[in-house]
Structure 1
């Protein structure tokens, strides 16, 4: 990875939903907005994050009803932020260190400006050229 700033690859679309939002409503919002996560709020305060994977693993797989279970009940409470000027390498290291797949991205004033996910990083071109072996398929 080249020295790419987090701001250059993060997702800028942030959807905020109150903690009392039901999971089926949150899933519909994710579908409609073509996103995989929402930031959960309690009044004006950020209180957690829920991903589409969280809905599946923490709720559906546990047999929780999506029409009565709230975001607050399954949200990840530890919100990890990184500055938008940090490098992607620093962000990946933070993800590894904290065992998370997403980071909230803030500006110098600690205002939320985006979300960086592993899929954002995976879409970056690699610095080493890929070579293929004759007669063999090249990985995509």
Structure 2
């Protein structure tokens, strides 16, 4: 199965010059946790709700802070013609929950989420890949590790 068969096609893209308040409002309106950041028809980054919380709010930045100041500019992506199983393995290895999907001309055509993987082939070997992806992502560590001893103090 190819990525193009399971990805979400209609994806809101935000401009890096937009304020983070606009990004947060878009995320709220669409009930998503991340937005691709695009400029001149090219993917230049991703911004997540966590980026806004940790790289902006926690540091006292204002709601007018441009997206480019808090977004992740190094973005992993996949191509629409790749095999889903291989991409799911990559998502697990890199602890990625959402992956922009590009055409071979490097134009954004969608996004692949764990949710897309989970509903793609319920009860099949694909679900084993989803389970592996979730296990890899849920393992402590990675770029955005959070450790809080208070969680285990109950």
Q: Per the shorter chain, which TM-score range?
A: 0.7 to 0.9
Give the TM-score of the pair, scaled to structure 1. Answer: 0.73
The structure whose RCO (Cα within 8 Å, separation 6+) is larger is 1
Conservation of the 8 A alpha-carbon contact between 2:43 and 2:108: no
Give the TM-score of the pair, scaled to structure 2. Answer: 0.67
* CA–CA separation in structure 1 for the residues paired with 2:60 and 2:40: 25
More strand per residue:
1
* CA–CA separation in structure 2 for the residues paired with 1:110 and 1:92: 20
Q: How does 1:11-90 map to 2 (within 5 A)?
A: 11-60=8-57, 62-90=58-86
* CA–CA separation in structure 1 for the residues paired with 2:10 and 2:48: 14
Conservation of the 8 A alpha-carbon contact between 2:103 and 2:109: yes
Larger radius of gyration: 1
* Number of residue equivalences: 124
* CA–CA separation in structure 2 for the residues paired with 1:100 and 1:64: 27
Runs of at least 5 residues in structure 2 that lack an aligned partner in the other structure: 126-154
* CA-based RMSD: 2.2
More helix per residue:
2
SS at match of 2:35: strand
